Amino acid sequence: MLLAVLSGFIFALLLVPFGKVLKGKWSILLSILPLALFIFFLQKIPQVIDGAILERNQWVPQLGINLDFNLDGLSLIFALMITGVGTMVFIYTSYYLKGHVYLDRFFGFLCLFMGAMLGLVLSENLITLFLFWELTSISSFFLIGFNNEDPASRKSALIALSVTGLGGLCLLAAGLVIHGITDSFSIVDMLQSSTMMQDHSFFMAVVCLIFGAAFTKSAQFPFHFWLPGAMKAPTPVSTYLHSATMVKAGIYLLFRLSPAFSGSELWHYSLWCVGGATMVYAAFQTLFRDDLKSILAYSTVSALGILVFLIGLGTEEAMLAGLVFLLVHALYKATLFLMTGIIDHAAHTRNVSELSGLRKVMLPVAVAGFLAALSNAGIPPSFGFIGKDLIYEASLHTGVFPLISTVALVSTNVMLLFAGFLAGVRPFIGPLPTKYKDLQAGSPRLWVPTLILATLCLVIGLAPGLISNSLIAPALVALGIQDYALDLKLWHGFNTVLALSATTIGLGLGLFFLLKPSLNREEQMLKWEKYSPLAFFEGMGSLTFRFSTLWTGMVQNGYLRNYILVILLFLMALIGYGMWGNFHPKIDFTQLLDLTFYETGIMAIMLGAIVFTVFTGSRLTAVAAMGVVGYSLCLLFVFYSAPDLAMTQFAIDTLTVILFVLVLYRLPKYLPFSDSRVRVRDGIVALGFGGMITLLALGVLSDPMVSEVSEYYSANAYKLAKGKNVVNVILVDFRGMDTLVEITVLVIAALGVFGLMKLRLKSRERIR
């Protein structure tokens, strides 16, 4: 499984040098990757039925972070959706973006995203799940903003990254808190520690953090706004991300963790409320839209709300309904998105009020749209009919407000039926406008994948046994539901559920025939946008930007003196807070006064040099005086038998003095840039900081010495590093990387100084 996950990343890297070869007609060959992965996971079904497949790969075992993958019934469903729909999208893209100058780059982003999604649903470790979670956000940022010359695309990509990135931080925090409770990052261990989790004082924090991750990723209210905005992406992106992959990541997380949180009222009621509000609100929004992708976007948000709502119900029937509807939605929504792309590609418009009669020129596309709309509406014998029946059955038999739940679901499905027929049927019925008489369905690479997905909506509806025991039953086992009497079929007789389905279909069709698309109605809805969550989010962003600008103007004002002042004051406040009430050094001042003649003389020289540095009117004199202070320290190191340290300090001080002289030589004469009050302030801060450091040093000297580290280096310097000089061995072996970084910093600084010295600006380029 590790190779299956990494294959997407490997292909993305290979497209950098070889992508240009595949930019033409050969780009369809790239669909071999998702197809091969689909077949790989398909042939794992018999093994998964017998039990989950756990693959362990060590990564950072000291921290409990490993590339462990778990293929069970739940992850198998998602893996098949990712690779199956991915295959159709890859084939579709090879023609949809044919001739695009950055086609190879687009496929690279798709491969990267597919690998990240597979890693996310297969991960058995919370930290690796988080890493793949963030990789999906990053790769989707590139996909959504693919048309990077369009400001709207860039803005949509940034909003999507900001919202989902915030959720990623919540997931990381949740993983760390869970590790603190269970002492493990393993998801299996966490699920087995359900009682421990729910009894812990941090349980509420964990649940809220998980909600933050799932709700942002799966576009739940009030974080839903990023998904309609992401419709600025090319149609293959909308199809892949918003039918079967990215937006389902949050749903996967809720499904995966539900066994650990099941039974908690906080878990169930929160999901019930948020999912219910999202599905009704988003379905209502579809009544006011006339852009095909906008209609599909809000209907997607509503469908995601239904899934969250079902997980919130938490019963076995609700979980079954959620798993079936997961597949139902992936098939019909991917079909509708691909169909929309074909129409947009040919007619150059997505305005549903302008489209009609396209069945006469796009018959295969019309058939696909009609089948998808049937499944979306839950009309027999489609797969959607089975899914909708299961949803109503779950709502009727739940203990969480069954009447309210059922009414909310019926209302939502009525509006979703309207949206599905508006997108999948309306463009193809009625007379064909003259301007569209020459349109064509396009290449089979466009409509064949669309028709395949639409046909599956019908085939699985007629033969639900294809997925019943092979996919749904193992997924229920993965959710902790054992020995469930699973019986997926079209006909269950005349009952309340059938009456609810018939009511939904009747009201939905009535709404479709009575309510016509209207630009005026959409404009009326847009007047309320200023009160929307998106407006609030953008307002917070604007407020943050203004505050950052003000703060930067105050602190980062171009004066080095102010920068150092802020740093020193912050350190004084931080260290002073730590010392307050906890600092009780036992200092023997008699030992401090036991000075030799040489030490006293050097201290006098240092004090004199410091006075010269502070009060001199010449930069060069100040630099020379600072050099005297440094050399005096070198002599102290010599007196205390540290010649290596003395030589190092000598080299550093010499280099520093030379560099300062070279730089200051070209500056204008010494000018006072501050008045006496500023200098007094700086002097007080300097004395305060110096005094605090002195107290810290005295406190360290008064504490008993801990020699374990010194003894370790002394005992192992020669044994492990074959060196007799312990200090040298520490620098070049035990702390070799640290030393390398320090050397690199010095080299970069030297190159910078050299560049400044060699810089020769023309008079018009100089700042006046």
Could you write out the DSSP letters of every residue in 63-102?
GTEE--EEE-HHHHHHHHHHHHHHHHHHHHHHHHTTT-TT
Identify which of 428, 451, 349 has the alpha carbon closest to the alpha carbon of residue 91.
451
Task: Give the end of a domain, one of 497, 514, 530.
Answer: 530
- Top pLDDT among 227 and 26 is at 227
Domain with 760, as residue range(s), is: 715-768
Q: pTM surpassing 0.85? A: no
Q: Is pLDDT above 70 for 586? A: no
Q: Look at residue 263 and tell me if it is in a domain.
A: yes
Q: Is pLDDT above 70 for 482? A: yes
Q: Look at residue 94 and tell me if it is in a domain.
A: no
- Please compute the mean of the pLDDT values over residues 370-398 and round it to a whole number: 92
Number of H helices, E strands in the chain: 34, 4
Q: Look at residue 581 and tell me if it is in a domain.
A: no
- Please compute the mean of the pLDDT values over residues 351-362 and round it to a whole number: 89
294-322: buried (b, 16+ CB within 10 Å) or exposed (e) per residue? bbbbbbbbbbbbbbbbbbbbbbbbbbbbb
Q: Is pLDDT above 50 for 40? A: yes
Q: Which of 693-702, 706-715, 740-749 has the highest mean pLDDT?
A: 740-749
Residue 130 contacts residue 13 (beta carbons within 8 Å):
no
Report the greatest alpha carbon distance in the chain: 108
Q: Is pLDDT above 70 for 609? A: yes
Q: Is 648 helix (H, G, I), strand (E, B) or coil?
A: helix
222 upstream amide cis, omega within 30 of 0:
yes
Q: Is pLDDT above 90 for 681? A: no
Instruction: Report DSSP state, residue 593.
Output: T
Q: Is pLDDT above 70 for 592? A: no
Torsion of CA 233, 236, 240, 246, to 10 degrees: -20
| pLDDT recorded at residue 69 | 94
464 upstream amide cis, omega within 30 of 0:
no
CA dist 513 and 515 (Å) reads 6
Q: Is pLDDT above 90 for 128? A: yes
Q: Look at residue 584 and tell me if it is in a domain.
A: no
- Please compute the mean of the pLDDT values over residues 177-187 and round it to a whole number: 90
Task: Give the end of a domain, one of 477, 502, 530.
Answer: 530
pLDDT grade for 593, boundaries at 50, 70 and 90: low
Q: Look at residue 258 and tell me if it is in a domain.
A: yes
- Per-residue model confidence as pLDDT tens digits over 483-520: 787 888 887 778 899 999 999 999 999 999 988 877 67
CA dist 558 and 555 (Å) reads 9
Query: Poorest-confidence range of 348-357, 425-434, 556-565?
Result: 556-565
Q: Which of 320-324, 349-353, 436-440, 577-581 has the highest mean pLDDT?
A: 320-324
| pLDDT recorded at residue 176 | 93
Q: Is pLDDT above 50 for 427? A: yes
- Please compute the mean of the pLDDT values over residues 171-194 and round it to a whole number: 90
Q: Is pLDDT above 50 for 181? A: yes
CA dist 240 and 85 (Å) reads 7
- Per-residue model confidence as pLDDT tens digits over 212-221: 999 999 989 8
Query: Poorest-confidence range of 242-246, 399-403, 555-559?
Result: 555-559
Q: Which two tokens stand for residue 356?
A: 């009609």
CA dist 230 and 247 (Å) reads 11
| pLDDT recorded at residue 658 | 85
- Per-residue model confidence as pLDDT tens digits over 546-569: 998 888 887 777 777 788 888 899
Q: Is pLDDT above 60 for 765? A: no
Q: Is pLDDT above 90 for 422? A: yes
Q: How many domains does the chain have?
A: 2
- Please compute the mean of the pLDDT values over residues 288-295 and round it to a whole number: 89
pLDDT grade for 768, boundaries at 50, 70 and 90: very low
| pLDDT recorded at residue 337 | 94
| pLDDT recorded at residue 589 | 64
Q: Look at residue 326 and tell me if it is in a domain.
A: yes
Q: Is pLDDT above 70 for 761? A: no
Q: Look at residue 485 and tell me if it is in a domain.
A: yes
Q: Look at residue 186 and tell me if it is in a domain.
A: yes
CA dist 253 and 265 (Å) reads 18
- Please compute the mean of the pLDDT values over residues 399-421 and round it to a whole number: 91
Task: Give the end of a domain, one of 467, 496, 530.
Answer: 530
Q: In the predicted model, what is the mean pLDDT of the chain?
A: 87
- Please compute the mean of the pLDDT values over residues 578-590 and round it to a whole number: 70
Provide, rounded to the nearest whole percent, the portion of the chain with pLDDT above 90. Answer: 43
